[in-house]
Amino acid sequence: MKKGLLVFMSMMLVMGVLAGCASSKEGAGSNAAKVEVNKEGFPIVDEKITLSLFAPNVGIAKWQDMKYFQEMEKRTNIAFNFNTPPNESFETQKNLLFASNELPDVFYAASLTNSDVTKYSEQGLLIPLDDLIDEYAPNVAAMLEKYPDIKKTITALDGHIYTLPTVNRTSPPWNIHPMWYNGDFLAALNVTELPTTTDELYDLLVRFKTEDPNGNGLPDEIPLTAAEMWDINQWFMGFFGVVARAVGTYDGEVKYGAIQPEYKEYLEYMNKLWKADLFDHEAFSQTGEQKGAKGKKNQVGLFANWGAGSFMGVEESDKHPMMQPVTGPNVSQPVIPISPGQSINQFAISNTNKNPEATMRWIDYSYSPEGSAFIKGLDEGDLWEFTDDTKTKRINLKDLGDKKGTMTPEYGINVPLWADEAYELSFANEYDVFVKNETAEKIVKYGQVAMPQLFLTAEELDQIAGINADLVAYVEQMEAKFITGAIPFSEWDKYVETANKIGVDKVVEVYQTAYDRYAAN
């Protein structure tokens, strides 16, 4: 029996290898031959073409049913075959497309990684866009001219541009949801000046705890809550001058945040809050919903969320101020990480695309003011309406729910576009203005991009491949243990030593090289 099995298995192996070699080279979906492109205006092509498009689906509607694509087809004469797997399996599907050689003509909102881009551009699977941008994409070209940092970021190691980003420089540049005070608590305690130092913050949190600011007579206040540390740590580390827990840049020098002495100060401070029961003892185990339930019961004084109102279950308003970053004892001012204002690698054209010029013109529309407004809000009456006769002010329709997700792909994913400032501002209500001002004063003033999105070479990636996963897990565990006191601070040196053993040096070295390469460009 054993012999039979062996023979059988080797037979299968041979068959498999043969099958692997013979794997066919067929392009999928694109049925269009090359056609003439109109250099200006609509339609883009006189003869209708159909391209295949690959994008993630958030599960609300089929893309072919969306008004956006139907309208765009009418205007441009470009139609699509959609391959839109669920967001959840999108990464896997992306790899399988490359593995089975059924490349789509267009990668849309596909969040390719920089290593994808390096790998596949080397193989010629993605085509360079530079010339196409110059010839067929005036809006993209204008965007790149306006923001040279974007051009620098999306230029691959070989000097070409293979992908386009989602650019949004008008929304608040939050890297993560900001922190807010419960305005009712502040009012109840007659707090008019927000704390500006870590010590003042401590005192305020003590008052939240002891002076019954929600007025229900019960000591049920939770001064500060979180659902796992990532929820709030970007802010609290920043108070002590640490811009990122992992690699970050400090005046051009790359450092690993979690082994710096400033980071230790952050841990000690959090530990102090923990010991005084000012920091929610369920912070490490509770779900986001449980955290939210505490907010809605008006128990929490300081928290992170996209908006204070939605956390507390009330209307968003200027009653609840954004947290004023506080300054640690050993820094002159805090640092708050901000978003670079773009999400890279959201659009690419593959080598199966027979009409890259037309495709480029099609996507360029999303980088124009009308085009980005159209994909974000379609026409008047669909999702919004004008509020004045001069047609400069817009307001969202009531009770939209998920409706936007049934009309346009720009819902829950980063679609390639350049957000237009005038359009965004036309929606601005009082609250938006409040948030914009708060952001300017409390985030942008102290803001820094922790690390630009860098292209790493294949060798560099390989060098840190095993290290990163272990390192992040180790640092995260130890952060929690130091804060909760499960491990005393006398173990700090041992912690740094272990982190070094896992490979902090290697990671810092690789990123320093890549950063220098980026900065020299």
Contacts to another protein from residues 137-196, by CB under 8 A: 166, 168, 171-172, 174-177
Residues 17-46 contacting another protein, CB under 8 A: 17, 19-21, 23-24
DSSP result, 292-323:
HHHHHTT-EEEEE-S-HHHHHTS---TTSPBP
The piece of 112-120, 235-243, 261-269, 504-512 that touches another protein (CB under 8 A) is: 112-120
Q: Which residue has the tokens 């507390």?
A: 312
CA neighbor of 105 nearest in space, from 163, 165, 47, 28: 28
The piece of 156-164, 264-272, 294-302, 323-331 that touches another protein (CB under 8 A) is: 294-302
Residues 323-342 contacting another protein, CB under 8 A: 339-342
Print the binding letters for residues 343-362 with another protein: x by CB under 8 A, - otherwise.
x-------------------
Print the binding letters for residues 50-69 with another protein: x by CB under 8 A, - otherwise.
-------xxx--x-------
Residue nearer to another protein on the CB measure, 149 or 402: 402
Smallest gap from Cβ 308 to another protein, in A, equals 13
336-337 and 447-448: which strand pairing? parallel
Q: Which two tokens stand for residue 455?
A: 């292209």
Smallest gap from Cβ 364 to another protein, in A, equals 21
Smallest gap from Cβ 312 to another protein, in A, equals 11
Smallest gap from Cβ 389 to another protein, in A, equals 26
- Determine the residue type at 234: Q
CA neighbor of 221 nearest in space, from 297, 130, 119: 297
* Cα–Cα dist 509/325, whole Å: 31
Q: What count of residues does the chain have?
A: 521
DSSP H or E stretch at residue 443: none
Q: Exposed, middle or buried, 40 (CB in 10 Å: 0-12/13-18/19+)? A: exposed
Residues 195-254 contacting another protein, CB under 8 A: 228-230, 234
**DSSP structure class, residue 242:** -
Residue nearer to another protein on the CB measure, 13 or 440: 13
The piece of 90-98, 182-190, 328-336, 510-518 that touches another protein (CB under 8 A) is: 90-98
Looking at 33, 159, 252, 285, which residue binds another protein (CB under 8 A)? 285
Smallest gap from Cβ 195 to another protein, in A, equals 25
Smallest gap from Cβ 361 to another protein, in A, equals 25
Output the 3-class SS for 177-223.
CCEEECHHHHHHCCCCCCCCEHHHHHHHHHHHHHCCCCCCCCCCCEE
Distances from the Cα of 256 to the Cα of 60, 176, 260, 462, 507, angstroms: 40, 20, 7, 19, 8
The piece of 9-17, 204-212, 255-263, 355-363 that touches another protein (CB under 8 A) is: 9-17
- What SS3 state is found at 439? helix
Residues 394-433 contacting another protein, CB under 8 A: 401-402, 404-405, 410-414, 419
Residue nearer to another protein on the CB measure, 37 or 227: 227
Q: Does 115 bind another protein (CB under 8 A)?
A: yes
Task: Tell me the helices (H) and strands (E) count for the chain, helix number first.
Answer: 21, 14
Print the binding letters for residues 453-472 with another protein: x by CB under 8 A, - otherwise.
--------x---xx-xxx-x
Q: Which two tokens stand for residue 16?
A: 């498999």
Q: Exposed, middle or buried, 78 (CB in 10 Å: 0-12/13-18/19+)? A: buried
Smallest gap from Cβ 258 to another protein, in A, equals 13
- Cis-peptide, bond into residue 43, ω within 30° of zero: yes
Q: How many residues bind another protein (CB under 8 A)?
A: 104
CA neighbor of 172 nearest in space, from 336, 14, 312, 34: 336
Residue nearer to another protein on the CB measure, 28 or 35: 28
Looking at 250, 386, 423, 474, which residue binds another protein (CB under 8 A)? 474
Print the binding letters for residues 485-504 with another protein: x by CB under 8 A, - otherwise.
-x-----------x--xx--
Looking at 250, 284, 386, 423, which residue binds another protein (CB under 8 A)? 284
